[in-house]
Copies of this chain bind each other. A is one copy, B any other.
C-alpha cells in the first residue's frame, strides 16, 4: 500500500515534473530563451572583441587605397584578389583559394559630354556599363527631355534623330533604375541616336552615377550615359523655357574579350558537420570610379573579418563557415552563377547564404528569405544583436550573388543597414574610404560574426 501509494505519488510527481518541463520548453522555444540563454554570452563576447579593434577598418582601408578600383577585367581587381588570398592564408583560414571565373570586360575609355546650345558647358557624365560607344567624332544632336516613359510615348513623334534625356526624379532605386536599364532601347525604338539619364540618386553634388544597363536585342543599340542631377534638371528647365538644347556626346565604350577573374573562398571548418556550410560574403568587383568602399569592399571585408575574429576568439562552430567574395557582380553576375555551378554538389548542404551588399553603414538587422520555421529561429538569433541595435528581422533576404543559390533552394539572408545615404554614393567616385565610419563598420562585422556563428553552431541545422 505504502509502496502502491508511494508508486502513485511517484507517478504523480513524474507527470507533474514532465508537464513543468514541457511548459518550460514551450515557453523557451516561444520566446527564444534557448538560443538567448545559450548564445547571448558568446554574442556579447564577439561584439565586444569586434568593436574594440581597428584591424578590420585598416584592412578595408588597405584594400581600397592600395590597388585602385576593382572593375571586372582589370589588373587592379586581380592584384587585390592576390593580396586578399595571401592575407587569408596568413590569418590561418582554411581551404583558401580562388576559383576561376571568365568575366566580361567592358571598357569605358575616354568619354565626355557638353552642352552646345544655348551656351557651352561641360557636362560631367559617366557612360553606363555595357553601353556601346559613339562614333569617333561623337554625336551632336538636339535634345528631347522627358520625365517618364509615358511622356516619351506621348512625344514619340519628336524623338527621331534626337538625344533623349530621361530627367526622372528619384523615387525608389528599384523604380527609377528602370531608366538606366532600359532607357536606351526605349528611346532607340523611336529613332533616338543616343540617350542620357539623370543619375539614379536622390541627392547630388555634381556627381554622376554609373551602373549596368541592357539592350533589347531587337532594337538598334545606341550609346547610353548618365548626367548629373544638376545638369539634367538644367537642360530640362532650358527646354521648358522654349529652347531646344543641343549636346555633344563622346564615348569610347566597348567590350573586349572575356578575361579570367576569381571568386575567393576561405573557410573555418566546422567541428561536427564540416560538410554543412554557412556562406557569408560580398562581391569583390567594383565599378571603375571611386573605391567601391561601401559597394562592396565593405561587405567583403566585414564577412572576412567576422570569420577571422571568430577564429581568433577560438569560436569554431559545429558547421563550416565559408567566406565567399564573388566577382563581376556589377555587370555580369558571373561570379554568383559560377559559384552555384562549381558547388552544385554541395548546395544541398548549404545551410544559409548571407550577403552584405547595401553598404557598411549602421546595421539594423538581417533580411531573411526561407521557410517560416527557419525564420522563427533566425529571429531568435537576430535578437542576440540587441546590444548593437541590429536586432530587426526583415522580410527580404535576397541579394544579387546569392540569387542563384536561392533558386536552388538555399535560404538566403542579407545584412540590412541604414541606407539613407547609400544611393548618394552608389556607383560614384564619392564611394570612397572617407565615407566609412569605423564604429558603424565594426558593428556590421559584429552582426555578421554573431549571425553566422550561431546559425552554424545550432544543434539542428536550419530547416529549409
Min Cβ gap A209→B in Å is 10
The smallest C-beta distance from A247 to any residue of chain B, in angstroms, reads 14
Q: Report A150 CB to chain B, min CB distance, Å.
A: 23
**Once the chains bind, are A430 and B205 in contact (CB under 8 Å)?**
yes
Residues of B within 8 A of A229 (CB): 434
> Which of A26-34, A113-121, A180-188 binds B?
A113-121
Any chain B CB within 8 A of the CB of A133?
A: no
Say yes or no for A394: interface residue by CB 8 A criterion: no
The stretch that binds B, out of A234-242, A343-351, A367-375, A447-455, is A234-242
- Which of A62, A119, A241, A291 is most buried by chain B, counting CB atoms within 10 A of its CB? A119
A434-B119 contact in complex given A205-B207, A424-B205, A425-B205, C-beta closer than 8 Å:
no
Within 212-236 of A, Cβ neighbours of B (below 8 Å) are at: 228-230, 233-234
A174-206 vs B, Cβ < 8 Å mask (1 yes, 0 no): 000000000000000000000000000000111
Please measure, in the bound complex, the distance between the C-alpha atom of A76 and the C-alpha atom of B204, giving whole angstroms.
25
Contact B65 A429 (CB under 8 A): no
A66, A205, A207, A238, most chain B CB atoms within 10 A: A205
A273 at the interface (CB under 8 A from B): no
Q: How many residues of A contact B (CB 8 A)?
A: 34
With an 8 A cutoff between CB atoms, is A433 at the interface? yes
In the complex, the answer to whether B234 meets A433 with C-beta atoms within 8 Å is: yes
A67: interface (CB < 8 Å): yes
CB of B68 within 8 A of CB of A205, answer no
User: What are the 6 tightest A-B residue pairs by CB atom distance, in nearest-first order?
Assistant: A205-B205, A206-B429, A205-B430, A230-B432, A68-B119, A206-B430
What are 22 A-B interface contacts by the 8 Å CB criterion?
A: A61-B237, A65-B234, A65-B238, A66-B238, A67-B119, A68-B119, A76-B119, A124-B429, A204-B205, A205-B428, A206-B207, A206-B290, A206-B429, A206-B430, A206-B432, A228-B429, A229-B434, A230-B432, A230-B433, A234-B432, A234-B433, A237-B433
